[in-house]
Amino acid sequence: MLADQMISVSDLRYKTKLVLESLNTGAKYVLLNNKLEAVILTPTEYEYFKQLQKAEEWRLDIEEAKKNSPVFDNAEDLLSELLA
């Protein structure tokens, strides 16, 4: 399956339209000198991955905030901190 998704830079250069039209079957992996050089995605796939990245950044921010936030054993302690 992955072999079907790999294309050479030469194929991309000479068959650009065919490569772009075939994106509906999945991302294309562009090889330069038999090494992965780039990945071509549809705009929808790209936006999806951007959203995943943003969600992961938010998750990391939340984890960091949890580490740096005080823990209160009861409402009285929380109120004391808020009113201080």
In the chain, domain spans:
2-40, 44-83
Instruction: Over range 66-75, report the average pLDDT.
Output: 84
| Span 31-47, pLDDT tens digits | 999 999 999 999 999 99
Q: What is the pTM of this model?
A: 0.67
Instruction: Over range 46-54, report the average pLDDT.
Output: 96
Confidence band for 71, pLDDT divided at 50, 70 and 90 = confident
What is the pLDDT of the chain when averaged over all its residues?
Answer: 91
Q: What is the pLDDT of residue 67?
A: 85
Helix H, strand E, coil C: the string for the chain is CHHHHEEEHHHHHHCHHHHHHHHHHCCEEEEECCEEEEEECCHHHHHHHHHHHHHHHHHHHHHHHHHHCCCCCCHHHHHHHHHC
